[in-house]
Chains A and B, each alone.
Chain A
């Protein structure tokens, strides 16, 4: 018998038949499929009993309640807290991915000092004593006002501690990160005479007219706004949205009215014109509770006819009439404004125009209206002892010009700091602390801002993450993330009631980090009297407990304290009425639509930024979870996508996905084209929150930082950042 090809084939066929009739192939297939569905390298939460900690999110000023789920000492999930008055179980994607920020591989592990060889780990005591001696030197030289601090907020114990350190050192140069709250607070101050935060009772309104406010793009408190928008629809209310681009909010609105960008204030005045002309305003409020109405009537009566407004806004006159009548005819109308997430203050006159619109229909301090929410007043520390150096320093003008001259209504103008630094020689700021902010990435014309900041001899970053500002600092004093610390959250942005929340540590600090409050206290103690004497607390926790006093117990137990019976107080102006006109308002330059910087001939298009909840802006960048959730229309691999109307793109010879170069008077960037019918012809749009150079490999080098392309625009009435776009050119690469 000889083994030839045929017998070999017979053996193989027999073998195949036998194998098929045995468990081998079936079992292997099953095992391999189970293995491939459960890759062993994919992390899964540990098993075990779950513990739930109620806390407050600190990733934005939204003040949402969160529930942190833990197994053992490992945080596995963060969810919106059910029953919380602000968000009732809802939460934005950034809040949901807070655990990824806690365990981010690129968190700064301990205090670092920049040397010629790069970052060097140092001990807390040596870092703090070195910084303290630098501050002492500035005081000894009689330049205490050259110390500055940029922080996310100016309220709550941590912010008050930072401000107090600056005060006892002798510097008025404390900065709060700009936001829409700046303009709204100023508008309330000027018309209602009180320093208060703006709350918007969307839950009580039945007709919301939004001038670009991205209710589902992070405007105000994202948790509250998401819920309020759904509630409005369920109650049968209407949302009408005015914006040059079909944002997610526009897409979810009952009507979207595209408008030429920058003319939103003009539309508001145009609507006021129609409401006054047709006698649609609420006489009880306007006649009984306001003054200066005649002056206002005169202003809008002349220049803002529907025809004139139609010409500048690009909205036809019939729609303007229609909008005005629908708004004034609603039972509880509410007008809101602020582009996208309201990251920028915008022009004061523009916000005032919208505020007047609310006043015309009586929606001020009424259910369903704009509510003046009193500023929190629980931080009542004794006045610190000031030495002559400190007193003298505090009398110096602020470097940004806020509170003086033409900017007397503004309190903080961070947008004016880069120019002040650039023009000063030596720079007016010699020591800068940054906590909870990333100005080098987030200020308009970020490149110029970074260059100006480089002139500062000492930058100290208090950040858990290696963001762009930390990367260019001289010291990084890494701080706890929101899941590792106590923190009072004194308000929820845009929420119509005063609410005090408490963030609680869900886990012990994972790294060699400190609380910002502890850094301040320890820094002060490392300095001599009287600076040290202003901080009589053992540590931040001691300070927080003593400051919150009777509220501490209920805050630890319930997570928040809210006055359920809150009613807004009366107007605190001289007339005790809402003032359409007064001396301070009369001093402001009249409303004028802001134009985009740049010349139209070389830059035929206009670039506008847009916001999405899937991208974080601020001190913490987007964690990988958000980057994974980003649409292909925003980012393709590492290429940022620029939105353009197909009609405009056709004229430029651009097709979907084409590589292109976007240039503006401030810079140029390589992008890819996304054709989008939802953007007005002549405009191009890029998202905020991309184009990072710092952070980790999940975020760095992806997309374009729109702030590199945008120029700052100063609001003539207040000095606030009022830029909404810039002229641009898009060419095929």
Chain B
């Protein structure tokens, strides 16, 4: 136990450096570290988190929206039992697209690759929530009267489907976290995280607490 004591009192290499007055380079190194990590964190990192995929068919929402009578619900409807049908199945599309109706290469691709082969289109769903989340469209659209745009944005006006970005770690869509690297949002549809659900529920004072816990409504969505 004597040894360490002796070491502490003997002058080490640091003792000499202090005399050199190396203050300026240390701040420089700090700044270099700071700036390079900011560059990595803000510029290089965000695109690395996501892989980008194209939708199998470039669907034109604006064009279809002009042709149907019932807006979004013409294709994205609630089933009789209250469950939500999601992206349309081939059977719905075939009602109009048994043959190609135009020269549009995307429509021809759709008819050739899917309709004629009787294959479902593997649509990539931008707004798909993780499997641990229960969400009822009926409760929000029918009972609360919230319109589609509030959560999904003006997708009905788009002429082309944007690329689908999939998180390499979680496997879920970028739309859940939002486009901003820090997940900041300007519009109500920019992000679909739990806080966004909670914020709206708190404002509307609906299901803010669950029967089971008498406080935070965990079990309202995480059943």
Contacts and interface: CB of A to CB of B under 8 A. Distances in A.
Contacts of B132: 37-38
Interface string B155-184: 000000000000101111000010001110
Given A30-B177, A38-B132, A18 B35 contact: yes
Interface centre among A6, A21, A23 (most CB of B within 10 A): A23
A8 B38 CA distance: 17
Interface string A1-31: 1011111101111111111011110111011
A416 B91 CA distance: 61
B36 interface: yes
Given A7-B25, A15-B34, 6 more contacts: A7-B22, A7-B29, A14-B35, A19-B37, A24-B45, A35-B170
B49 interface: yes
Interface stretch (B65-73, B79-87, B97-105, B206-214): B79-87
Contacts of B96: none
B177 A27 contact: yes
Given A7-B22, A18-B35, A22-B41, A27 B181 contact: yes
Contacts of B27: 10
Given A1-B25, A14-B32, A31 B37 contact: no
B122 interface: no
B31 interface: yes
B26 A6 contact: yes
A47 B125 CA distance: 12
Q: Is the interface of A mostly helix, strand, loop or mixed?
A: helix
Interface of B: 14, 17, 22, 25-27, 29-38, 40-42, 45-46, 49, 79, 81, 83, 85-86, 130-132, 167, 169-172, 177, 181-183
Contact of B30 (A10, A21, A40): A10
A16 B40 CA distance: 12
Given A14-B31, A18-B33, A24 B17 contact: no
B30 A13 contact: yes
Nearest to A40: B171
A32 interface: yes
A586 interface: no
Contacts of A30: 177, 183
B49 A21 contact: no
B181 A18 contact: no
B41 A23 contact: yes
Contacts of A26: 182
Contacts of A24: 40-41, 45
B169 A11 contact: no
A564 interface: no
11 contacts: A10-B33, A11-B33, A13-B30, A14-B33, A22-B38, A24-B41, A31-B49, A31-B167, A31-B170, A34-B172, A49-B79
Given A1-B25, A6-B22, A10-B26, A22 B33 contact: no
Interface of A: 1, 3-8, 10-19, 21-24, 26-28, 30-32, 34-35, 37-38, 40, 42, 44, 47, 49-50
Nearest to B176: A34
Contacts, number: 115
A31 B169 contact: yes
B221 to A, nearest CB: 12
Contacts of A23: 41-42, 45-46, 181-183
B34 A14 contact: yes
A18 B41 contact: yes
A11 B29 contact: yes
Contacts of B183: 23, 27, 30
Contacts of B34: 14-15, 17-18
Contact of A44 (B14, B79, B131): B131
Nearest to A19: B37
Contacts of A13: 30, 33
Contacts of B42: 22-23
A14 B40 CA distance: 13
Contacts of B86: 47
A539 to B, nearest CB: 32
Given A27-B49, A32-B169, A34-B130, A14 B41 contact: no
B170 A38 contact: yes
Contacts of A42: 131
A22 B45 contact: yes
A1 B25 CA distance: 7
B29 A8 contact: yes
Nearest to B48: A24
B49 to A, nearest CB: 6
A3 B28 CA distance: 11
B141 to A, nearest CB: 18
Nearest to A34: B170
A27 B85 CA distance: 31
B169 A21 contact: no
Contacts of B14: 5-6
Nearest to A33: B170
Contact of A15 (B37, B45, B79, B167): B37
A11 B36 CA distance: 10
B157 to A, nearest CB: 27
Contacts of A31: 49, 167, 169-170
Nearest to A25: B41
A6 B83 CA distance: 62
A32 B131 CA distance: 15
A42 B171 CA distance: 14
A34 to B, nearest CB: 4
Contacts of B85: 49
Contact of A18 (B22, B26, B36): B36
B138 to A, nearest CB: 14
B170 to A, nearest CB: 4
A14 B170 contact: no
Contacts of A18: 33-38, 40-41
A15 B32 CA distance: 8
A186 B42 CA distance: 82
B25 to A, nearest CB: 5
Contacts of A40: 171
Nearest to B49: A27
A16 B37 contact: yes
Nearest to A7: B29
A38 B83 contact: no
Contacts of A50: 81, 83
Nearest to B22: A6
Contact of B33 (A3, A12, A47, A49): A12
